Amino acid sequence: MAAAGEPHGSLYDTIIVGAGIQGSFTAYHLAKRGKETLLLEQFPLPHSRGSSHGQSRIIRSAYPQEHYARMMAESYRLWERLEAEAGTQLYRQTGLLVLGPSADPEFQSCCRTLAQHRVPGQLFTSESLCRCFPGIRPYCGEVAVLDHTAGVLYADRALRAVQDGFRRCGGALRDGEKVTGITPGVVVTVTTSGGVYRAKTLVITAGPWANKLLAPLGLQLPLQTLRINVCYWQEKVPGAYGVSAHFPCLLAIRANQASHHIYGLPSNEYPGLVKICYHSGSPADPEERDRLPEASALPDIQILCDFVSKYLPGLGPQPALVEHCMYTNTPDEDFVLDRHPTFSNIIMGAGFSGHGFKLAPVVGKLLCELSLGEAPSYALEPFRICRFPAQPHSAL
């Protein structure tokens, strides 16, 4: 167990529930600001049962939504700072190709936000794409834009680095301690499987478990938890789709009429295997993630098989390896960053769906600012819970 120090009789400034990437960054920012901070995690660390495990995540500025594109410049800077503090590589620049029909509004928005934020980019026709990236065959005549600054974050290493940074600043991390009760008040009391703790503010960053913690506090967010198949595909020629061969990350919009994005990362984490995944999955409770559905209930894998055989002919036609992870989606796939509508010193960060890792340094900063009662660095309107019908306004 990674517990630091003894159970604390006195009052913490903030307790954070959940040591995934969002809770860990929130804790890191608070501890850097000199706040007495306790980070609680139900499982012994490291673990692979939430959303932050695995070796790789994509980082990119190519976002169709302006509010995320705006946050990315600071996010890159904060990742760089963490990398320097940790003295280990957390990011590898590979570039990312957004592939899509040229007239698609989402594709056009990505091109627009890249230009607006002066991110180095490059447009490709179908023909120039095939010339520059012979491993990709744009099957339906799509075009592409390359976000040069994009790349791969080494996720497991990054999570460990931010938790180590938190502890170096004096923060206390207690893993293997499940939060079983929260009593709201001017001072919030948190009961775990290992003790009772008190704090002026509480931040809940519990990933797919968020609604289980919020239910006794009289709140249910419109979150959908999905089991995601993380698929790896064998290269026919070893290294052809690798980082050393300068193969970029990929984000395919409406490829082959798919309803959700398909994304890919060059081979690196498993030699000879390229990660290609569907940006959706099947509804599942996080406690039952590994109860496998019938093969017929795996339409995402069939969609990926079709995509790979048409667009990436240098890969084997079936996944060579499938791992699992959880998404927590809101109906509009925007995050929730807000206060509890009744208990203003309880703050929630949830619904980070399949794209929250890269933004975690900024999300953590915003949750830190909310818990300190400071004006947030970015407008929080897209993230407030009042955007959902039938959800009350937060207690401001």
Give the interface with ligand FAD as residue ranges (CB under 6 A): 17-23, 40-43, 50-52, 57-58, 178-179, 205-209, 213, 228, 230, 277, 325-327, 352, 354-358
Which residue's C-beta sits nearest to ligand FAD? Answer: 20
Bridge partner residues of 327 (DSSP): 226
Report the SS3 class of residue 286: helix
Return d(Cα 97, Cα 396) in angstroms, integer.
Answer: 41
Return d(Cα 375, Cα 23) in angstroms, integer.
Answer: 20
Q: How far is the CB of 16 from ligand FAD (least distance, A)?
A: 9
Return d(Cα 177, Cα 17) in angstroms, integer.
Answer: 10
CB atoms within 10 A of CB 117: 17
Q: Which is nearer to ligand FAD, 145 or 213 (CB)?
A: 213
Q: Which is nearer to ligand FAD, 136 or 182 (CB)?
A: 182
| Displacement of CA 295 from its chain's centroid (Å) | 27
Would you say 344 and 201 are in contact if contact means Cβ atoms under 8 Å apart?
no
Q: Which is nearer to ligand FAD, 143 or 206 (CB)?
A: 206
DSSP 327-372: EEE-TTS--EEEE-SS-TTEEEEE--TTT-STTHHHHHHHHHHHHT
Q: How far is the CB of 264 from ligand FAD (least distance, A)?
A: 10
Q: How far is the CB of 107 from ligand FAD (least distance, A)?
A: 18
Burial of 310 (0-12, 13-18, 19+ CB in 10 A): middle
Q: Which is nearer to ligand FAD, 124 or 352 (CB)?
A: 352
Return d(Cα 93, Cα 385) in angstroms, integer.
Answer: 35
- Residue whose structure tokens are 């949830």: 350
Q: Which is nearer to ligand FAD, 126 or 334 (CB)?
A: 334
Q: Which is nearer to ligand FAD, 126 or 262 (CB)?
A: 262
Return d(Cα 21, Cα 27) in angstroms, integer.
Answer: 10
Q: Is the dihedral of CA 220, 224, 227, 230 positive or negative?
A: negative
Q: How far is the CB of 330 from ligand FAD (least distance, A)?
A: 12
Q: How far is the CB of 1 from ligand FAD (least distance, A)?
A: 13
Residue 390 DSSP code: T
Q: How far is the CB of 263 from ligand FAD (least distance, A)?
A: 6
Q: How far is the CB of 69 from ligand FAD (least distance, A)?
A: 13
Q: Where are the alpha helices (DSSP H) in the chain?
A: 21-32, 66-86, 105-116, 126-132, 155-168, 210-214, 299-311, 360-371
Q: Which is nearer to ligand FAD, 47 or 137 (CB)?
A: 47
Q: How far is the CB of 125 from ligand FAD (least distance, A)?
A: 26
Residue 197 DSSP code: E
Q: How far is the CB of 126 from ligand FAD (least distance, A)?
A: 25
Max CA pair span of the chain:
67
Q: How far is the CB of 127 from ligand FAD (least distance, A)?
A: 29
Q: Which is nearer to ligand FAD, 22 or 126 (CB)?
A: 22
Q: Which is nearer to ligand FAD, 97 or 126 (CB)?
A: 97
387 Cβ contact partners less than 8 Å away, ≥ 6 residues apart: 332, 334, 381
Q: Which is nearer to ligand FAD, 126 or 289 (CB)?
A: 289
CA atoms within 13 A on the CB side of 238: 3
